Amino acid sequence: MDELEFVRKQLECHQGRNNSISAGDIAEMLGYPVEGSHVKGRELVKRCSKKYRIPVGGNASGYYIITTEDELNEYKANLRSRANKTLERGDLMTKFFEERYK
């Protein structure tokens, strides 16, 4: 079984936002070193979701298969909020740059 198939099987066991699995747990099960941000686990979940067309959501606890429209809407709202905060931070850095150099 390849890595993405393994991740798919793990995600199938973690359906719904209250039944998540962490990226670190996934990476560790595959024998990867568990680093602070669990980059490898996150990458595998993302690739798995795309390859198998699985609606994967995430929260502070980890990843899960989205099973309801409420979960989907909550996840999308979280993504929008994070994106807006990133854009706001970029705008603030532009302001600071202009204040400093213009």
Do the beta carbons of residue 12 and residue 20 sit within 8 Å? Answer: no
Identify residue 87 by its one-letter amino acid code: L
What is the pLDDT, as a whole number, of residue 74? 96
3-state secondary structure 8-48: HHHHHCCECCCCCECHHHHHHHCCCCCCCCCHHHHHHHHHH
Rounded Cα distance, 64 and 88, in Å? 29
Q: What digits encode the pLDDT tens for the residues 27-63?
A: 889 988 876 658 888 999 999 999 999 999 999 999 9
pTM of the model as a whole = 0.86
Per-residue pLDDT band for 95 (boundaries 50, 70, 90) equals: very high
Domains of the chain: 3-101 (1.10.10)
DSSP secondary structure, 40-76, as one string: HHHHHHHHHHHHHT--EEEETTEEEE--SHHHHHHHH
Give the contacts of 54 (CB within 8 A, at least 6 positions apart): 8, 11, 48, 65
